[in-house]
Amino acid sequence: MSKTEFTYLNLPSLFYEKVQPSRLPKPEIALLNQALLNVLGIPNNNLPKLLSFLQLADPNPEAQTFAQAYAGHQFGHFTMLGDGRAIIIGEWVQAENLRYDIQLKGGGRTKYSRGGDGKATYRAMLREYLISESMFHLNIATSRSLAVIKTGEWVQREMVVEGAVLPRIMKSHIRIGTFEFARHFGTLNDLTALCNYSINRLYPQLKTKENSAAALLETVMVSQINLICEWMRVGFIHGVMNTDNVAISGETFDYGPCAFINSYNPNTVYSSIDRDGRYAFKNQANICKWNITRFAEALLPLLHTEEEKAILIAKEIIGTFDQIWVNQYYKTMLLKLGITEVNISLCDWVNELLKIMEEEQMDYTNTFLALGNPDFASETHHCSERFSTWRNNWEKYIENSIGLSKAQAIMQVNNPAFIPRNHEVEKALDEMSMGNAKPFENLLQVLQNPYTYNPTFHSYTNPPQSEFDKKFKTFCGT
């Protein structure tokens, strides 16, 4: 039987502020994730019931809603942050060991809002809804969006725009930045409480480990490596991998300036604020390691009572990062080529193909799709001599090993046909903002079945014009 709990509030009070979401002047449902709400058993058959569940109806003196405190390294610089425009309305316990935070993004001001207004814009919330749902259907661990609710308020950004609230679920919003907050602003007891809470909630199997903080560090490191390899698999660029946006649950979240790569260029950056390419596609592995190192620093006093020994433990764990990354990355990329073993000479298939794709400006998604899917390949193909030679050699290898049909079956579950192409996302958002929901609904529908190439939807596989994509910029979730 599902119910709402608030176990996070058992942490010392510096970890949160109890705060109620702002009332909405004129709420209106723009999007409803009916299927997900039904799975969760959340009442959604009428607006008043849903608003009341989300604590957006009349003020509720009993409400235990709260904003989380956290810090983080933003573009390399440490700073105090916290939920400045997000409020958790509770933990939805669906079954034993299945607990989700329900958070309202754009829920109103909190004591962590600094100069911000605590609000979110309609367009940015539509974008988060679309991309997070796409990630879910790509089988990548992610927060999920329950709805987009227009607030009926206008929000001041560069221009005055419509406001919205996005209720979303996640196994937990605890981030590396929460640990950095505890380390810098709390006591050893606070840090211990956070560590124990996180283990109990997310990784209970670590409770009995001799050094559970070290086990947590290692587990979070591996789950981040696995997650980011999945991003690389589908060409996803998160865009703002600050430590406050790294969930220790291993879920992707905070869909701000993210976007998917088109023509393959490992240096691709879409985020308007990432001027030095810190979070470029190819840097995601290095940044992952950098972020995990910040996590280790925050955990240091729990790794060992003597600092020197604690540093050694941290170094030993992080010292395994590169090898785990290389194994997981090539395992992931080789599956995109229908190859299930991993060894150094096989990795060259990947490296060589990526080099050709980069130099010949080939589309990342469509190149892999065409290799594994004859239906798609017949509609589009790239045939430079260099690529044809690579392809012939690879085909020979496949025929002499696993066989083409088995390889294709593997490739078809690892290579999406449909990703949210930047131009399609922009079109859907533009139209939706003008009151035409059709392009958004159609795109969402296509993205719900990303691994099955369906010729009816062929146009959704078209990359954007190269001029469009080179100039395309994304913005933080404002």
Using CB under 5 A, count the residues that bind Mg ion: 2
Buried b / exposed e across 383-417, counting CB within 10 Å, b at 16+? Answer: eeeebeebbeebeebbeeebeeeebbebbbebbbb
User: Of these partners, ligand AMP, Mg ion, none, which one is at the site of residue 416 (CB under 5 to 8 Å by kind)?
Assistant: none
Distance CA 164, CA 29 (A): 9
Residues 369-388 that bind ligand AMP (CB under 6 A): none
Distance CA 371, CA 198 (A): 42
Q: Does 119 bind ligand AMP (CB under 6 A)?
A: yes
User: Of these partners, ligand AMP, Mg ion, none, which one is at the site of residue 421 (CB under 5 to 8 Å by kind)?
Assistant: none
Q: Does 118 bind ligand AMP (CB under 6 A)?
A: yes
Among 295, 195, 279, 202, residue whose Cα is nearest residue 244: 295
- 173/391 with CB nearer ligand AMP: 173
Residues 377-416 that bind Mg ion (CB under 5 A): none
Stretch that binds Mg ion, among 58-66, 117-125, 243-251, 315-323 (CB under 5 A): 243-251
Query: Could you tell me which residues are beta bridge partners of residue 102?
Result: 90, 169
Contact with Mg ion (CB under 5 A) among 190, 254, 274, 363: 254
- 135/310 with CB nearer ligand AMP: 135
Question: Are 411 and 395 contacting, i.e. CB atoms less than 8 angstroms apart?
Answer: no
Q: Does 245 bind Mg ion (CB under 5 A)?
A: yes
CB of 82 to ligand AMP, least distance (A): 6
Q: Does 81 bind ligand AMP (CB under 6 A)?
A: yes
- 433/478 with CB nearer Mg ion: 478
Distance CA 193, CA 189 (A): 6
Q: Which residues touch 10 (CB under 8 Å, ≥6 apart)?
A: 197
Handedness of CA 246, 251, 253, 258 (dihedral sign): positive
Distance CA 240, CA 238 (A): 6
Residues 225-264 that bind ligand AMP (CB under 6 A): 244-245, 254, 256
CB of 195 to Mg ion, least distance (A): 21
Query: Tokens representing 427?
Result: 């079109």
User: Of these partners, Mg ion, ligand AMP, none, which one is at the site of residue 85 (CB under 5 to 8 Å by kind)?
Assistant: ligand AMP
Catalytic residue list contains 244 = yes
Question: Are 12 and 189 contacting, i.e. CB atoms less than 8 angstroms apart?
Answer: yes
- 147/165 with CB nearer ligand AMP: 165
User: Of these partners, ligand AMP, Mg ion, none, which one is at the site of residue 469 (CB under 5 to 8 Å by kind)?
Assistant: none
Catalytic residue among 244, 254, 274, 469: 244
For 88-129, the DSSP string reads EEEEEEEETTEEEEEEEET----TT-TTS-S-EEHHHHHHHH
CB of 416 to Mg ion, least distance (A): 26
* Residues labelled catalytic: 244
Q: Which residues bind ligand AMP (CB under 6 A)?
A: 81-85, 112-113, 116-119, 244-245, 254, 256, 476-477
Q: Which residues bind Mg ion (CB under 5 A)?
A: 245, 254
